[in-house]
Amino acid sequence: MAQVPGTAGYGANAAALATQYESLRFADVHREVLHLFPPPPARVLDIGAGAGRDAAALAALGHRVVAVEPTAELRAEGLRRHAALPIEWVDDHLPGLHRTRALGERYDLILLTAVWMHLDDAERRAAMAALAGLVADGGQIAMSLRHGPVPAGRRMFEVSAQETCELAEAHGLRRRFLGQREDMLGRADVTWSVLVLGARASRVTLPVTAT
């Protein structure tokens, strides 16, 4: 099977990356926007779930969680580390999310933590259409956007919060929160934008084109 472009460099280092990700607490990573997350039980979709830190924390709170991770080695880490929790793992990827969409669910909260910057311009446009079709009316999409140099062997793009908000607005999603924060791993040349998009309670979603 061909490698998903945005996953380059992750599979070979899955164990070390999983340990790095799990060293950060869910409550710290999402501290600015936790007040916007729905109370349990809610339907949650964690896209690019990695080794499952966020999915596990949300499942432990009583949410019904689907974790999407295209890198087999990271999925295996998540299944091993969080085997006791009722997380549904799905092998799928942006921008199309075809297997996820085939589940026929819409979600009260969609997470994309350190994911969006792996998509190029055309992929981001297709991905936003897919997200708009997956978020429930009144639901939230929370994402973080990385700013800084691209590590060797990785595929990343510089993506602005303004561009992301404008793209979201075209799909009936409005900005509910936008903030900036330092890098939690202590990298001085890396910063993050934290963004929450809200789906209006009554809206028309645009059709998703095949990708």
In whole angstroms, give the CA distance from residue 31 to residue 179.
11
Q: Is residue 211 part of a domain?
A: no
Domain that holds residue 98: 5-199
Residue 160 binned pLDDT confidence (cut-offs 50, 70, 90)? very high
Q: Is 31 inside a domain boundary?
A: yes
Q: Which amino acid is at 14?
A: A
| CB-based burial label for 120 (10 Å; 0-12, 13-18, 19+) | middle
pLDDT tens figures, 103-154:
999 999 999 999 999 999 999 999 999 999 999 999 999 999 999 999 888 8
What is the pLDDT, as a whole number, of residue 158?
95
Residue 208 lies in a domain: no
Residue 204 lies in a domain: no
Give the CA distances from residue 191 to residues 43, 145, 197, in Å, rounded to whole numbers and listed in that order.
30, 8, 20
Taking 90 as the threshold, does the pLDDT of residue 89 lie above it?
yes
Give the DSSP letter of residue 12: G
| Total domain count, the chain | 1
Beta strand 135-147 with 191-199: parallel, antiparallel or unpaired?
antiparallel
In the predicted model, is pLDDT for residue 23 greater than 90? no
Place of tokens 């580390």: 81
pLDDT of 193 above 90: yes
Closest alpha carbon to 10 in 65, 76, 71, 88: 71
Confidence of residue 69 (pLDDT cuts 50, 70, 90): very high
Q: What is the CATH classification number for the domain harbouring 43?
A: 3.40.50.150
Question: What residues pair up with 180 in beta bridges, in sequence order?
Answer: 193
Quick: pLDDT tens for 176-190: 999 999 999 999 999
pTM score of the predicted model? 0.89
Which of 146 and 15 is assigned the larger pLDDT? Answer: 146
Q: Which residues are 67's β-sheet partners?
A: 46, 89
Mean pLDDT in the chain?
91
Note the Cα 178 to chain centre separation in Å: 16
Asked whether residue 206 is domain-assigned, the answer is no
At 1, is the pLDDT very low, low, confident or very high (cuts 50, 70, 90)?
A: very low
Q: What is the DSSP letter of 41?
A: S
Q: Residue 15 has what pLDDT?
A: 76
Give the separation between CA 172 and CA 57, rounded to whole angstroms.
29
Establish if 148 belongs to a structural domain.
yes
Q: pLDDT value at position 171? A: 96
Instruction: Report yes or no on 210 lying in a domain.
Output: no
Per residue in 54-64, pLDDT tens? Answer: 999 999 999 99
Asked if the structure places residue 209 within a domain, the reply is no
Give me the pLDDT at residue 2, please: 53
Number of H-type helices and E-type strands within the chain: 7, 7
**Which residue from 150, 131, 153, 148 is spatially nearest to 140, judged by alpha carbons?**
131
